């Protein structure tokens, strides 16, 4: 794991870590890796796994590693691996977040501001299509996008406020990057405005 340069616009608040990879260590348990987006966490703290499922689950951190060294705590900007005790690997997925219990909820719908990529002639009046995939953090989720106002279409380079609806719930923070794919091509990029 590595130390990331602190961002001046990193959100303040209680601990939140994006899960980018999950694996098991024989005899030790499940490990989740990813960047700490905000806050501080310490060995022994309880965390909540939020997103991609209808209900969240709890786990106690029994270890934190960075640069292949054990740490007692980690803070915003650290890219770490955390040992989730005896939590089964099947309960942790790429795209979830680890958070202090009760501090963030997952949602299937949120507002966003998206800019149409220039490779497309226009965003159709109804962008809700089973081929659309929405990338948020490390998660890629099927969903649909609809205009939040009376706008009928979007031309390349133009931005619009939209509503994003997902098949699976995800933890959303304002200014979180959102990418919309139509098949393998990027349709639009932007940021979440909130749930």
- What would the pLDDT profile of 55-97 be if each residue is shown by its tens digit? 999 999 999 999 889 999 999 999 999 999 889 999 999 999 9
- Name residues whose C-beta falls within 8 Å of residue 193's C-beta, 6 or more positions apart in sequence: 110, 111, 112, 113, 161, 174
Among residues 48, 75, 99, the one where a domain terminates is: 99
Q: According to the model, what pLDDT value does residue 28 have?
A: 84
Is the pLDDT at 157 greater than 90? The verdict is no
Please give the residue that has the higher pLDDT: either 6 or 90.
Answer: 90
The verdict on 50 and 125 lying in the same domain is no
Q: Which domain holds residue 129?
A: 106-194
The verdict on 110 and 95 lying in the same domain is no
- Name residues whose C-beta falls within 8 Å of residue 65's C-beta, 6 or more positions apart in sequence: 1, 71, 80, 81, 82, 83
Portion of the chain with pLDDT greater than 90, in percent = 67
The answer as to whether 36 is a domain residue is yes
Q: CB-based burial of residue 118 (10 Å sphere; 0-12 exposed, 13-18 middle, 19+ buried)?
A: exposed
Q: With bands split at pLDDT 50, 70 and 90, how would you rate the model's confidence at 12?
A: confident
Q: According to the model, what pLDDT value does residue 61 have?
A: 96
The verdict on 95 and 127 lying in the same domain is no
The verdict on 52 and 112 lying in the same domain is no
Place of tokens 């303040």: 12
CATH classification of the domain holding 67: 2.40.30.10
Among residues 99, 131, 158, the one where a domain terminates is: 99
Q: According to the model, what pLDDT value does residue 84 have?
A: 95
């Amino acid at each position: 794991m590595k130390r990331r340069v602190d961002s001046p616009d990193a959100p303040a608040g209680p601990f939140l870590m994006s899960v980018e990879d999950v694996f098991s260590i024989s005899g030790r348990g499940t490990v989740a890796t990813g960047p700490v987006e905000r806050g501080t966490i310490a060995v022994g703290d309880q965390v909540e796994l939020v997103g991609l499922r209808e209900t969240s689950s709890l786990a106690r951190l029994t270890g934190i590693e960075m640069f292949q060294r054990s740490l007692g705590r980690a803070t915003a900007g650290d890219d770490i691996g955390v040992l989730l005790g005896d939590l089964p690997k099947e309960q942790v997925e790429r795209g979830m977040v680890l958070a202090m219990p009760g501090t963030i909820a997952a949602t299937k719908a949120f507002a966003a501001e998206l800019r149409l990529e220039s490779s497309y002639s226009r965003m159709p009046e109804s962008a809700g299509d089973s081929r659309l995939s929405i990338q948020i953090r490390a998660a890629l989720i099927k969903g649909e996008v609809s205009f939040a106002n009376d706008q009928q279409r979007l031309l390349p380079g133009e931005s619009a406020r939209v509503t994003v609806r997902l098949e699976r719930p995800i933890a959303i923070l304002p200014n979180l990057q959102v990418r919309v794919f139509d098949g393998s091509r990027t349709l639009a990029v932007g940021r979440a405005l909130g749930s």
